[in-house]
Structure 1
């Protein structure tokens, strides 16, 4: 039994990793097979095969014009729009959580910007800002701020009132209240909102670039559609998914695990 105990522990420790790898393999293999089968039944103009798509993606990544004129520009716009949304959403969310009149004033704006279609905002922003980075970033920040705002407001509403009373009794400073009570309350909802906002940021930026930009991934996507270059069109879609996946797994998920440990 003594010799079997270490083996059983290793098996228990490895089983979650094996399950995750198996789940990821099934998740990737299923759509890949469906994609491959669809490419056999539909003409190449409609469905590009995985091999054609990967070849087009590799050619894009090896092109300096694509890297400098499209990819880096779009990544910069995504970062600026998301960063502005995070700052505005946190500030407005904390103010709305602390002061009910502020929340009542902001609620109609929150409802409008979460209900209006993104394409309508793009059309209006094109009239106000013209075509270019300023227009794309302003749209991304406008559409993403309510997502962050809602998460912060929910965290502030769920804040433990007894902790606030204790802080008042022991005369906590403003910095201590923010560090030990407010930030801990909004950490988990904020990170959850950030996960949603990250995916939406790529979608909104590419949509804005398709309709009103002369550079960026959206512009390349529009050109591939105009030229009926289906493999390149699929390559842009795949690249967009990869960007969201890399940002979420490399930045957002570690931040989420850190916030959970911090709360504990």
Structure 2
């Protein structure tokens, strides 16, 4: 039976290696951990091919089981059928609460639909080129591009060593060292701009669940937006969270941070700014 608390979901992670670079795996597994515990982790590919090199260390680090699938036909992704068969086997065991399908291949659209029909939570992860059909078939879809290795902070350079000569009294003059600047956190390059359709999505969602005064709880707003548009993610627009994203739209939105029963915890509400 599917659990209500997503943090306790037992997830089957099934990865199509033909569609995912191994450099993405670390960030991908960290993202999946936000939704539940990956109890099954399998990756499908023809591991006899030369381009499979580089995967071994990554799979060992994350305890992912490689599944060998020979390429019987040139130019055809042979991993699809093996992944689909395993997904259905796992579904009927009843030992998982949801699936994470990692691929950008539209061939998995019907599988995602079938799993959701059986009450499974389906999380999709793939590149931005993923067809809309697969995205819409998932409860949540996350672009690999926003997980592709967190941007490394630049370390402050060491202060330059003084080359000034000694003074006449043969004493060294203490070099003037400027205090190292604190490196600014680099802004993530957004995949998308906050365009008119995105603004309309936010506005309509707030209107759908707002109270008599138009205020809507931010958590409920975020949940409903994702149900309407599974690929919605503030990171796609260069924001780490939904709150700063909506705060950037102060020309159309009002934000109200209210005190809660818990210390240092505030509930954020949002409503449309009345003209």
TM-score clears 0.5: no
Q: Highest relative contact order (Cα 8 Å, sep 6+), 1 or 2? A: 1
TM-score by length of 2: 0.19
More strand as a share of residues: 2
TM-score by length of 1: 0.19
